[in-house]
Chains A and B, each alone.
Chain A
């Protein structure tokens, strides 16, 4: 059975995939949910920038400063188009998804929410979409409730409806679970939240890299994601915010570039999105991010999504043959390319160790989702995750490596 992309060509774009991690064992990289590998064009875009056009942005008049500023703002525009924002003014560069969510917590929630106000989360959230709200709860007395996750790994949408009757001010949830792979119905959930007057923040860290996302269509108020999970460099992420919402917010960090004017008496904020980007940003990383978006657009997000869906379906079929292995979460109809599992015979650490010896890179632990693991009654799990550069052969290697686990621990 052919995979949907010419994966040989894709693999050639990622130099690290030719690596041998142990003698005779080529790297089979199944940890893209943690971070993605980088194509050559992204690596070269950043190097070229440092070699030819690097300068500080926004304030210079000299040639390099102009070039750098143009390239930086062009990246912003490409990212805005990538997620269907109405304008580049709705794209704030942050360090990563975690910082983007914290920005909403500090610059919006901290000013708007009062003691007793309700924030609605879900049991499947990553810690980055739980802890900032818990911190705010300690500081401000906001209340937090969690939409339960059903046994099959889907959100309990009837409970979601009930919880909305408590009139939360903010509803924050993940587009796709980094453990279960569950893809949540963002558009209907957002509509329901808006009907009770809530603002909606969606964690898109696992979604934006893997399938087409259009924030204007979804009508979310805030959307957060990271470059490093979508073929871009570390050190840069995005908070998308509706323009009028961003305009109504106070700044996040204070300093240079986020101001229009400073005197000894006080300051005036700059316009959005610069209001939220204090200090010198990760300039080369933003340019690398733009190159990553170009690369993904060239392959096509729908193509990537279809390819991953095929891999996930294949993986689940293969894994279902292994009687001592249990996959968490839904079947392939609701699942993105993230497959977490436990086994009857070995602890996730030991599974990951054996798999590594076979060249297969997976992740073991709680994946920054301890409440979710508690809900399923397991302390930790092993997670394999796929991206455009994976193939059915990679999954075959995973299965072979799992047989080694049985040989050693069975």
Chain B
């Protein structure tokens, strides 16, 4: 169990650095996993060079979804829009550093789906965003 709920995940779950809301965000989106009640809202603001300046989230859910959100937002700071659009499932898995079953994978990928739907300015998320 220590392997699964490693320090990194528990730390980001219990003490997330990127919780918050932005008044004037450039990109914003939210989604939930109705199967389990994970819910995430993400706000992004860009600097003048077109790179991510501020990235925050609020929501509620399991340790995997919340830790994934915090890790994701930590890692996209300073990235260009193109780089954000190119983020994949593998990036999330690398940051979390553990193997996930199909059910928990859905939890882990929810924040990425939301970020991608935000920057692509979609009306809803879909699974293709996190292939």
Contact = CB atoms under 8 A, between A and B. Distances in A.
Contacts of A212: none
A31 interface: no
B36 A348 contact: yes
Contacts of B104: 349, 353
Interface string B58-73: 0001111000000000
A404 interface: yes
A370 B4 contact: no
Contacts of A364: 36
B102 interface: no
Nearest to A364: B36
Interface in A322-358: 346-350, 353-354, 357-358
A380 interface: yes
Contacts of B107: 349
B16 to A, nearest CB: 14
A268 B104 CA distance: 51
Given A347-B62, A349-B64, A409-B63, A354 B1 contact: yes
Interface residues of B, number: 16
Give the interface residue-count category, chain A.
10 to 19
A357 B1 CA distance: 6
SS of B interface (majority): loop
A155 B99 CA distance: 42
B50 to A, nearest CB: 36
Contact of B63 (A346, A357, A366): A346
A380 B5 CA distance: 21
Contacts of B35: 365-366, 380
A404 B1 contact: yes
A366 B1 contact: no
A347 B63 contact: yes
A379 B1 contact: no
A408 interface: yes
Given A408-B10, A409-B63, A349 B36 contact: yes
Interface in B25-69: 34-38, 61-64
A364 B64 CA distance: 14
Interface string B72-83: 000000000000
Interface of A: 346-350, 353-354, 357-358, 364-366, 370, 378-380, 404, 408-409
Given A348-B62, A380-B35, 9 more contacts: A347-B36, A350-B63, A353-B5, A354-B5, A366-B35, A370-B34, A380-B36, A380-B37, A408-B1
The 10 closest A-B pairs by CB, nearest first: A379-B37, A347-B62, A357-B1, A349-B62, A380-B36, A350-B63, A380-B37, A350-B62, A408-B5, A365-B36
21 contacts: A346-B62, A347-B36, A347-B37, A347-B61, A349-B103, A349-B104, A349-B107, A353-B5, A365-B36, A366-B34, A366-B36, A379-B34, A379-B36, A379-B37, A380-B35, A380-B36, A404-B1, A408-B1, A408-B5, A408-B10, A409-B10
